[in-house]
Amino acid sequence: MSERALKRVLLALGIVFMLVFCLTPFIYMIVVSVSEKPDFLSAAVDFSATLANYRDVLAVRSLHFLDYLRNSVAIGGLVALITGGIAALSAYAVSRIEFRGRVFVPLAVLAFSMFPQISVVGYLYKLMRAAGLINTYPALILPYIAWTAPLAFWILLSYMTRIPRDFDDAAFVDGADRLTIFRKIILPVALPGLISAMLLVFIAAFNEFLFALMLTSDHSARTVPVGIALFEGLHGEVPWGYIMAASGIAAFPLIVMSLYFQKFVIQDVTRGALKG
Amino acid sequence: MGLGNRLSDRRTAHLFILPLVVVMVVFIVVPVAGTFVTSFFRDITYLEPAFTFLANYKRLASDAGFWQSMRFTSLFVAVCIPVELLLGMVFALILNERLPARGVLRAAVLVPWAIPTIVAARTWELIYNYSYGLANWVLALLHAAPQPVNWLGSPLSAFGALVIADVWKTTPCFFRITLPILRPVIAVALIFRTIDTIRILDLIYVVTDGGPGGSTTSLSLYGYKFFNEGDFGYGSTIAVVVFVMAFLLSMAYLRAGGFKGAVE
Confidence of residue A264 (pLDDT cuts 50, 70, 90): low
**Mean pLDDT confidence for B224-253:** 94
Nearest to B21 by CA among A91, A124, A105, A117: A105
**Mean pLDDT confidence for B216-244:** 97
DSSP track, B197-254:
HHT--HHHHHHTTT-STTTT--HHHHHHHHHHTTBHHHHHHHHHHHHHHHHHHHHHHH
Identity of the residue numbered B86: L
Q: Which of residues 199-228 of A touch B (CB under 8 A)?
A: 206-207, 209-210, 213-214, 224-226, 228
| A259: contact with B, CB 8 A cutoff | yes
Q: Which residue has the higher pLDDT, A224 or B178?
A: A224
User: Is residue A247's pLDDT more than 50?
Assistant: yes
A117 with B201: Cβ contact below 8 A: yes
User: Is residue A269's pLDDT more than 50?
Assistant: no
A105 with B20: Cβ contact below 8 A: yes
Provide φ and ψ at A35, rounded to 5°: -95, 145
Per CB-CB distance under 8 Å, the chain A contacts of B6 are 98
Q: In chain B, what percentage of residues exceed pLDDT 90?
A: 66
Residue burial A132-154, b: 16+ Cβ < 10 Å; e: rest: ebebebebbbbbbbbbbbbbbbb
Please give the residue of chain B at the shortest CA–CA distance from A84: B20
Q: Are A103 and A157 in contact (CB under 8 A)?
A: no
pLDDT confidence of residue B180: 41
Burial (0-12, 13-18, 19+ Cβ within 10 Å), A99: middle
> Per DSSP, what are the bridge partners of residue B41?
B51
pLDDT confidence of residue A1: 66
pLDDT confidence of residue A270: 43
Helices (H), B128-215: 134-141, 155-178, 183-198, 202-207
The hierarchical CATH code for the domain A64-230 is: 1.10.3720.10
A28 with B115: Cβ contact below 8 A: no
Please give the residue of chain B at the shortest CA–CA distance from A89: B16
User: Is residue A35's pLDDT more than 50?
Assistant: yes
Interface test mutation site (partner A, options B7, B23, B87, max chain A beta carbons within 10 A):
B23
User: Is residue A61's pLDDT more than 50?
Assistant: yes
Interface test mutation site (partner A, options B14, B86, B126, max chain A beta carbons within 10 A):
B126
User: Is residue A266's pLDDT more than 60?
Assistant: no
B114 with A251: Cβ contact below 8 A: yes
Q: In chain A, what percentage of residues exceed pLDDT 90?
A: 57
Of A162-166, A191-195, B65-69, the range with the lowest mean pLDDT is A162-166
Confidence of residue A275 (pLDDT cuts 50, 70, 90): very low
**Mean pLDDT confidence for B210-225:** 96
The hierarchical CATH code for the domain B63-263 is: 1.10.3720.10
Per CB-CB distance under 8 Å, the chain A contacts of B10 are 97-100
Nearest to A146 by CA among B32, B37, B203, B197: B32
What integer best gives the mean pLDDT of chain B?
Answer: 89
Count of other CB atoms within 10 angstroms of residue B101: 9
Rounded CA-CA distance A117/A96 in Å is: 32
The pLDDT tens digits for A85-125 are: 999 999 999 998 888 888 898 888 888 888 999 999 999 99
The pLDDT tens digits for A39-55 are: 888 877 888 889 999 99
Q: How far is A189 from chain B (nearest CA, A)?
A: 18
Q: Which of residues 42-71 of A touch B (CB under 8 A)?
A: 42, 45
Interface test mutation site (partner A, options B9, B95, B123, B242, max chain A beta carbons within 10 A):
B123
Confidence of residue A233 (pLDDT cuts 50, 70, 90): low
Nearest to A197 by CA among A73, A69, A71, A79: A79
**Mean pLDDT confidence for B41-59:** 93
**Mean pLDDT confidence for A70-91:** 97
Per CB-CB distance under 8 Å, the chain A contacts of B38 are 122-123, 126
Per CB-CB distance under 8 Å, the chain A contacts of B251 are 111
pLDDT confidence of residue A271: 45
What integer best gives the mean pLDDT of chain A?
Answer: 89
> Per DSSP, what are the bridge partners of residue B47?
none
Domain ranges (residues) in chain A: 64-230
Q: Which residue has the higher pLDDT, A158 or B177?
A: A158
Rounded CA-CA distance A265/B176 in Å is: 11
Q: Which residue has the higher pLDDT, A179 or B152?
A: B152
DSSP track, A209-267:
-HHHHHH--STTT--HHHHHHT---TTSS--HHHHHHHHHHHHHHHHHHHHHHHHHHHH
Please give the residue of chain A at the shortest CA–CA distance from B96: A11
Per CB-CB distance under 8 Å, the chain A contacts of B16 are 89-90, 92-93, 97, 178, 182
Residue in A117, A240, A273 closest to B259 by CB? A273
User: Is residue B68's pLDDT more than 90?
Assistant: yes
> Per DSSP, what are the bridge partners of residue B42?
B50
The pLDDT tens digits for A141-188 are: 999 999 999 999 988 998 888 888 888 888 888 888 888 888 888 898
User: Is residue A273's pLDDT more than 70?
Assistant: no
> Per DSSP, what are the bridge partners of residue B51?
B41
